[in-house]
Structure 1
Amino acid sequence: MSTKLVSLSTMAALLGGAAMADVPRVAVDIAPIHSLVAQVMDGLGTPDLIVQPGGTPHEYSLRPSEAAALQDADLVFWMGADLTPWMADAIGTLAKDAEVISLLDADGTILLNFREGALFEAHSHGHDGAHADEKDHAHDHDDHDHDHDHAHEAEDAGHDDHNHDADHADHDDHSHEGHAHGAHDPHAWLSVDNAATWLNLIAAELSAADPDNAGTYFTNAAAARTEMDTLVTEVNATLDPVRGGSFVVFHDAYQYFETAFDFLASGAISLSDATDPSPARIAEIQGRIREQGIDCVLAEPQFNPGLITTVLDGTEATTGVIDPLGADLEPGATLYGQVIRNLAATLAECL
């Protein structure tokens, strides 16, 4: 009798392992996107994170385990070469057989042009006119009716060819005074609208690769979108008491967050995290802080704190530390929401 029980137990374990083996292996570039994918895969599998916490997406050296994750991946979700230019070659070499999805290139992604100059002139960033390039929402599954035949038609429609090896072969290396790649600001994950759009795209891509679990992927995406609505409400409640306050950021990475919550920065100490600001730019920022009574200067954990001290010299502005990547957070499903909450909380406290 016991032998029979052991045999049945072993068989169940084997069947369970076979079911899990059918779930795609997924590699993701940065922690906030990894968090979105983890939400959609919840209960089925865990994506692999390529750029580890504390790493700089623009320049990163792959560890053997991260190279193996790319090599084993069935799907790769990444922002695109504008954020992680080095990863295009890694994907082309290691993930030749994977389905590769660049979120910056995805239908429905809101893209904003880089802002030039140290000081950002006040102008409308309302959703009607702020977006330099807003694409159609080809993967918009707001209804979430889980009619999977219909869902797969949408998946197929948006499934043209996500292997962007050829696309990136001729990618221009533009230089916008520190903007190393592309015309658009690549920090698009700080738009909660983009995150909501990508949740559907992620569910569609996973469902195409793993149709048996499509219901779970789309159910998870729907739940995550509901949580995104709650997140927006929470962040607006955090920011409402300090609206009208003025702030300067360390580098111009936050305009997607600023636009989403209608709370615009007055300037940036550095245009990019790839270059140090010139003395003239620092002087320009200092002048703006003094003349306009800027309330807050926001630093970032991985950059030179001495620059903040220099900028604050002779002003009455306070300072706080913000992080667009969640370097101090545990990677996983909850990280994305915490990144957005932390940005709002730090800004409110600084103001």
Structure 2
Amino acid sequence: MKTPALLLTTSVLFSASAATAAPEVVVSIKPIHSLVAAIMEGVGEPKLIVEGAASPHTFTMKPSNARAVESADMVFWMGPDMEAFLKKPLEALASDATVVELDDAEGLTKLPFREGGAFEAHDHGHEGHEHEGAEQGEHDHAEEAGEEHHHEHVTFDTHLWLDPMNAKAMAVAIEQALAKADPENAEAYAANLEALNTRIDSLDKETAETVAPVKDKPFVVFHDAYQYFEQHYGVRVVGSITVSPEVVPGAERVQEIHQKVQELEATCVFAEPQFEPKLIQVVTEGTDARSGTLDPEGATLTEGPDLYFDLMRSIATNLKACLSGA
């Protein structure tokens, strides 16, 4: 019979062995890094590529990122439509790694990419898209060409995690991939997935309750990243300043949005932490619209298993605060 001390020693050795056996995992962006970290909790810690306030829309790989990808056993990313910067490095450096593209996960709700800022798309569907597309022809050619080039192959909105049901679908794909690569820790991954699903269900209910009082108030966002949040919670996004955040909107586009903010009596116009806030001042000048900040990718948040929850709560509370005038 093992003594208590021997049992403790055996347990410690087993835990150390399990941790050592965990694969080297690299994740592209904060929201999905948070989901991977939650499922790996107690087993290992995934590395993050797009750190701090950097945006995947404008990110450039550093040597340390390249080394991490090259030494990885597994890489999780949304896919080339979100992290275009990662496509060639994965082909060149991750030939021995298991690469998991999460925008291919089963059970995802995918919404079509909206051209031209999508004003009034919430109420008018494709009719609003066509109207905006026609107006867009009047704008600066450089802006139009830049947006068209960036999105020429994009058929759906890639900010999938902003629907919590999509987050759950991606979490299943993450757990399955990890369990296949690391069967010794499969039970831990499965238990963590169950706990994560419970937390997401609770978060979903909390978020719905937070935004319920301001659901009907119209607002404008910096770029069209919130479709999934909008559809899932029924909030009223009436337009975006730019389609592609890496493309600065031209003067005509800014003037058009300024007029739309007045015509639609938008309650708030939201900036994002990574991009130029002066545009928000120009768009809201002379109107009754307030300004706020939304962070769809967690730029200002601390990475880790709690980030996804902090991100969704931040969007909900910032929406409520600005739209209610609090």
TM-score bucket of the superposed structures, by smaller chain: 0.7 to 0.9
**Shift of residue 90, structure 1, vs aligned partner:** 0.8
- The aligned residue for residue 27 of structure 1 is 26
Deviations 1:143-188 (A, max 9, x none): xxxxxxxxxxxxxxxxxxxxxxxxxxxxxx9953753652221111
Query: 1:14: how far off?
Result: 6.1
Aligned length: 299
Contact 2:29 2:56 in 1 (8 A): yes
Match of 1:339 in 2: 311
Deviations, residues 279-303 of structure 1 (Å, cap 9, x unaligned): 2222221122112211010111121
Look up the SS of the partner of 1:266 in the other structure. Answer: strand
1:123 aligns with 2:95: no
SS at match of 1:176: helix
Task: Give TM-score scaled by structure 1 length.
Answer: 0.79
1:87 alignment partner, SS class: helix
What code does the residue aligned with 1:274 have?
E
Q: Distance in 2 between matches of 1:177 and 1:320?
A: 30
CA contact (8 A) 1:83 1:181 kept: no
Structure 1 counterpart of 2:157, from 158, 182, 185: 185
Could you report, residue by residue, the CA deviation over 1:51-94 in whole angstroms, capped at 9, with x for unpaired residues? 11211212322233322221121111100100111201111111
Q: Which residue of 2 aligns with 1:273?
A: 245
**What CA distance in whole angstroms lies between the structure 1 residues aligned with 2:9 and 2:20?**
16
Task: Return the letter of the residue paired with 1:25.
Answer: E
Q: TM-score, normalised on structure 2?
A: 0.85
CA distance in 2, matches of 1:346, 1:12: 45
The 2-side partners of 1:217 and 1:13 are apart by 19
AA aligned opposite 2:93 = L
Instruction: Verify: 1:227 aligned to 2:199, yes or no.
Output: yes
Q: Once superposed, what is the RMSD of the aligned Cα atoms? A: 2.4
Of 174, 198, 215, which aligns to 1:202?
Answer: 174
What is the 5 A alignment of 1:76-87? 76-87=75-86
Asked whether the equivalents of residues 103 and 109 of structure 1 are also in contact (C-alpha less than 8 Å), the reply is no
Whether 1:243 aligns to 2:215 is yes
CA distance in 1, matches of 2:161, 2:258: 29
2:64 is equivalent to residue 65 of structure 1: yes
Residues 71 and 95 in structure 1, CA contact (< 8 A), matched pair in contact too: yes
Find the aligned partners of 1:295 and 1:44 in 2 and give their Cα distance: 46
Who is 1:113 aligned against? 112
Contact 2:215 2:234 (C-alpha < 8 Å) held by counterparts:
no
Q: Is the 8 A contact 1:298 1:322 kept in 2?
A: yes
Retained in 2: the 8 A contact 1:79–1:103? yes
Distance in 1 (alpha carbons) for counterparts of 2:12 and 2:213: 54
State the SS of the aligned residue for 2:257.
Answer: helix
Task: Decide whether the 8 Å contact of 1:25 with 1:73 is kept in 2.
Answer: yes
Return the offset for 1:11.
8.6
Task: Name the CA shift for 1:178/1:284 in 2 (closer, same or farther; >3 Å).
Answer: farther
Deviations 1:112-162 (A, max 9, x none): 11112232334378xxxxxxxxxxxxxxxxxxxxxxxxxxxxxxxxxxxxx
Gaps of 5+ in 1: 1-6, 126-172
- Corresponding residue for residue 43 of structure 1: 42
- Give the AA of the match of 1:349: A
User: Mapping of 1:130-169 within 5 angstroms?
Assistant: none
**Unpaired runs of 5+ in structure 2?**
1-5, 126-144
How far apart, in 2, do the equivalents of 1:193 and 1:111 lie? Answer: 11
Q: Are 1:264 and 2:263 matched, yes or no?
A: no
**Distance in 2 separating the partners of 1:86 and 1:199:** 23
2:52 alignment partner in structure 1: 53
Distance 1:86 1:271 in 2: 18
- Corresponding residue SS for 1:35: helix
Question: Is the Cα contact below 8 Å between 1:81 and 1:181 reproduced in 2?
Answer: no
Which residue is 2:133 aligned to?
none
Look up the match of 1:88: 87
Alpha-carbon contact 2:271-2:292 (below 8 Å) kept? yes
Are 2:291 and 1:319 equivalent residues in the alignment?
A: yes
Q: Distance in 2 between matches of 1:114 and 1:323?
A: 19
1-structure distance, mates of 2:147, 2:278:
26
Q: Distance in 2 between matches of 1:71 and 1:44?
A: 21
| Equivalent residues of 2:18, 2:43 under 8 A apart | no
8 Å Cα contact 1:28-1:76 kept in structure 2? yes
